[in-house]
Structure 1
């Protein structure tokens, strides 16, 4: 915190994510958001400190204010602004944003959000055809790749149409699945994204194993990125060994 406050152009610092909402566990990263005065200072950083993983994001006030004018930005940002915990706010910049976020009503976005949802569905048509083509030819890789895009094209459309805000990316898939109270939608989307019990856990363990192997196989001189990745791989190895 002391380091961030000393940076030139820092207007405010606030805690976001699971720690701000009181939902953190031992694997949660600490999300620290920094409001800066210019685009030149916008950058993100990830680091381990005192045994915790810190994710530090820097953004301008203008970028955060897009949550009040753009429905897709609002999905991802309104809850973070509403629930953020101020750590450094000498001029009340964050307090002003938070007050506006808490007072903001989705009703003013409904028309624009529905138009954006329709645009996303139109954009998904190409991926729909890729799925049909892959299924007809037995090309599983083509189907899987198209499904990655459809996960977010359809998910964002559902969230926009229903005005469902995203408090954390960890809940994106379940929020999108449950956005419409339609059993056929919920079943189809849940299957599309792999929310099927053992399949999810198997995919999760495979993802961890793949990460560890990728770190081991990537050739890179020692730098911050390599150090960070190797520390994460060490933790992955311990997790898989103890699970």
Structure 2
């Protein structure tokens, strides 16, 4: 772990404690996890009393990039009810280090996060995963059209959307939490233990040196795998996704 400039954290803490409506200040991110390097920003989460005080700031302090995220307790509590909020926030709540928590508000959130079981949102997660996959039907057609026309810009634009929609679907379907956005692509690639998904998603996401045409074709392959691997609860737009996957498979085999 890279050490912080000695006076920086106490100075920041004093400034944040003096702000209106502050209930707790928490060290999060790579510094809290003990993974920081010379390029890591310093992440601080502030619990505030009102929505009007919620805002993000990013600035350099003593040569260190400092990111401060201010949210209400209710907003942080979405991690216990909404699958996507859980993906992005549970690990931060579990690993955060309280710097100022006079009333134990963050401690209560952290205890709840550590006790949280994915089963509490699993049904919603499967439904949301299906919605994301089906919602990419238009992008599937953009990729096929772009490949047919030799339009690399169209293919890559659609591939960018598919990368994150299908990646998030895989994470939701498997309950794979995100400790840092830096690991998002690798976690999404490994979420489903399916060799075809792993290979095609890696190409789609740019984890290989593939040209745009290969990325486009790879985008069609993980779409089909996502449709096959996702668990589709009642009410999911499964038929739309299956039809798009069928068209993509036919395009690839032509």
**In the alignment, structure 1 residue 9 sits paired with structure 2 residue 56:** no
What's the secondary structure of 1:23's corresponding residue? Answer: coil
2:69 to 53, 57, 65: 57
Q: C-alpha separation between the residues in 2 aligned to 1:96 and 1:108?
A: 18
Displacement after TM superposition at 1:35 (Å): 0.6
TM (norm. structure 2) is 0.77
Deviations 1:115-165 (A, max 9, x none): 110011110111111111111111110111111110111001000000000
Displacement after TM superposition at 1:103 (Å): 0.3
1:79 to 91, 96, 102: 91
RMSD after superposition: 1.2
Q: Which runs of 5+ in 1 are unaligned?
A: 200-243
Deviations 1:6-43 (A, max 9, x none): 01100100000000000000000000010111111011
The aligned runs of 1:223-242 (5 Å cut-off) are: none
Q: Which runs of 5+ in 2 are unaligned?
A: 1-12, 212-254
The aligned residue for residue 160 of structure 1 is 172
CA contact (8 A) 2:143 2:158 kept: yes
CA contact (8 A) 2:203 2:210 kept: no
Query: Which contiguous aligned blocks of 4+ residues in structure 1 show a shift greater than 3 angstroms?
Result: none
Equivalent residues, number:
199
Q: C-alpha separation between the residues in 1 aligned to 2:170 and 2:94?
A: 22
The aligned residue for residue 127 of structure 1 is 139
**In the alignment, structure 1 residue 169 sits paired with structure 2 residue 171:** no
**In the alignment, structure 1 residue 45 sits paired with structure 2 residue 57:** yes
Q: C-alpha separation between the residues in 2 aligned to 1:88 and 1:128?
A: 48
Select the structure with the greater relative contact order (CA < 8 A; seq sep ≥ 6): 2
**In the alignment, structure 1 residue 92 sits paired with structure 2 residue 104:** yes
Displacement after TM superposition at 1:166 (Å): 0.1
TM (norm. structure 1) is 0.80
